[in-house]
Amino acid sequence: MAIYHIHHIIPRHMGGSDDPSNLIELTVEEHAEAHLRLWEEYGSEYDLIAYLGLSKMIDRAEVIQQAMKEFWSNPKNRERVLASRAKTYSDPEFRKKKSQSMKERYQNPEARKHMSDSLKQTLSLPEARKRLKDNMTICWSDSDYRKKQHKSQSIRWSKPESRKPVSDAQKKSWSDPENRARRIEALKKGRAIARAKRLQAD
């Protein structure tokens, strides 16, 4: 039995809409062929990624990874996402709901482990670390962002109920010999790098 997909005649990444007039039903093989033709004609990496994924040449995880890499390589996309996030998080009601949602989520040990494992896997990729560093550099180069972060942290640390969980977590972490050794090694490395930079500057 054939499996059918809904294909955008004009791809969404090229401005195509979800209007029924822009949609067509294709088999998986036809869908892959359609994206191959789009890639050959217009050269968009999105269509190449779609073709490789639909043809089973790369798995789903790699499709997502490649698509995200292509998306974030565009400075306009990064700026648009950061601006959208800033606007969304400026809404007090949204922040309150998000905070409550994250608290409930972190109370679940399985959810915490899943998020921790996922983050470790993502940050094990050099490209992901570079993207995160670039995004943070963009954010912290904005004086308004720095002021907001400073104000938010000042308010947070002025509350004993906020300081205690962090303090307890740090004490627990430092009481673990393996964690302690790893942190000390990281501090030594950081100081050595800072010292080398100072010597270079001199």
pLDDT beneath 50: ranges in the chain: none
The per-residue pLDDT for 202 is: 64
Range of the domain at 10: 4-70
Please tell me whether residues 31 and 104 are part of one structural domain. no
Q: Model's pTM, two decimal places?
A: 0.40
First to last CA, the chain: 72
Please tell me whether residues 189 and 89 are part of one structural domain. yes
Residue 135 structure tokens: 């995004």
The per-residue pLDDT for 1 is: 67
The pLDDT tens digits for 20-38 are 999 999 999 999 999 888 8
Contacts of 156 (CB under 8 A, 6+ apart): 162
Please tell me whether residues 61 and 152 are part of one structural domain. no
Please tell me whether residues 110 and 58 are part of one structural domain. no
The per-residue pLDDT for 169 is: 81
Please tell me whether residues 165 and 192 are part of one structural domain. yes
Please tell me whether residues 194 and 95 are part of one structural domain. yes
The per-residue pLDDT for 195 is: 76
